Structure 1
Amino acid sequence: MISLVVAGKALWVLFIVAWYLLRRPFDRRARRAKLTVDRRKGADTIRLAISLIGLGVIPAVYVATGQLRIASYTPSPILLALGVLTGLVALALFRLTHKALGQMWSVSLQLKQDHKLITTGIYKRLRHPMYSAFWLMALTQALLLPNYIAGLSGLAGFGFLFFLRIGAEERMMEEAFGEDYRRYRASTWRVLPFVY
């Protein structure tokens, strides 16, 4: 019988591959659009790199090599099941956000030519559902990988990106869309309905 550790690692890999496959066609289309604002240089590149280390590099090293065993703990079938559930919700939310944004989507702090403020679909209640999906994927990683370092590195890495970027992103949107964005911001939650 397959061990819970191996199952968790395999599921994590499957979710990462699915995540990549969902994003790929949107990324290719979005790269073709001309930019009017590009704030990716400098600090945002560093934030993205730290997030990638936590959500990709550290767990990949753990999954591929078994390194970091010293920080491992006994896996739980309940945590594994919760990891599958949060992973599926993360993928669904990730897909909905990309579909709603279309070419307006960007991996960084960028605005496209003729950029539109998206306020429908999943964006009707949440201003940043893409970040919600990333939080859920980081939680999925923590639930699937029974290792305090590899499991929790996604929450730490993405948390670093999120908390240092969210203010800058909202200021950029307010500069671009003015009163429309202020009204939208007043009627929506950032990432978690009824909480934040």
Structure 2
Amino acid sequence: MTPTFAKFVFATLAVGWYLLRYEHARRFRREKILRSARGPRETTLLLISLTGLGSLPFTYVATGIPRFADYTFHPIQAWLGVAVAVASLLMFHLTHRALGRNWSVSLDVREGHQLITDGIYRRIRHPMYSAFWLWASAQALLLPNWVAGFSGLVGFGILFFGRVAREERMMLETFGDGYRAYMARTGRIFPLVF
């Protein structure tokens, strides 16, 4: 394992995410939205996350900037990053497959929206967020730079903590006691933990 190969793995992770997401975004973008939390706050949270998971690490991969924040590359750490990246892509795929037409990038309730509680959703309420936490962790393990490597954890963390409670309120308003019972038997992002 070399630093160049670790950067290649990170770039491949991003391409894989894009390809998985593009198909769902293309297929379901015309579904009618009944209620949405889109607005300045949501846009700001998404931009912060994109900066941490995209702009900063890709600047580093392409240019090596910011060089002042580099630390010693450890191949074992990078191999662990490869494993976490694969887990991230798998979780992302399973989540999109389970959600189908219910998926959206923003907090939206679509016409005919269903509460998904099977597949990956059987034990985890928000596996999409789990997948992003795994991506951010893979980024930290693959990119030996204190800024570029850890910006995903910070950027996505801000999105997650600024959004998940609002999302759960929206789901409670939409699905009521069914969602309340679902919350009681599932972990938020990891089974039986959180």
Scaled by the length of structure 1, the TM-score of the pair is 0.97
Q: Which residue matches 1:169?
A: 167
d(CA) in 1 for partners of 2:144 and 2:11? 14
**1:12-161 equivalence runs, <5 A:** 12-161=10-159
Q: Secondary structure at the match of 1:190?
A: coil
d(CA) in 2 for partners of 1:101 and 1:62? 33
Given residue 72 of structure 1, which amino acid in structure 2 is its aligned partner?
Answer: D
How far does residue 193 in structure 1 lie from its aligned partner after superposition? 1.6
Structure 1: gaps of 5 or more residues: none
Given residue 84 of structure 2, which amino acid in structure 1 is its aligned partner?
Answer: T
Scaled by the length of structure 2, the TM-score of the pair is 0.98
Given residue 126 of structure 2, which amino acid in structure 1 is its aligned partner?
Answer: H
d(CA) in 1 for partners of 2:140 and 2:170? 32
Measured against aligned partners, the alpha-carbon deviations of 1:73-119 in whole angstroms (never above 9, x if no partner) come to 11111111100000000000100000000010011110110100000
Q: Secondary structure at the match of 1:32?
A: coil
User: Identity over the aligned pairs, expressed in percent?
Assistant: 53
How far does residue 29 in structure 1 lie from its aligned partner after superposition? 1.5
How far does residue 194 in structure 1 lie from its aligned partner after superposition? 2.1
d(CA) in 1 for partners of 2:146 and 2:65? 12
Q: How many residues align?
A: 194
d(CA) in 2 for partners of 1:194 and 1:174? 20
d(CA) in 2 for partners of 1:23 and 1:37? 22
Given residue 8 of structure 2, which amino acid in structure 1 is its aligned partner?
Answer: A
Q: Which runs of 4+ in 1 moved over 2 A?
A: none
Cα RMSD (Å): 0.8
Asked if structure 1 preserves the Cα contact closer than 8 Å seen for 2:123 and 2:187, the reply is yes
Given residue 45 of structure 1, which amino acid in structure 2 is its aligned partner?
Answer: T
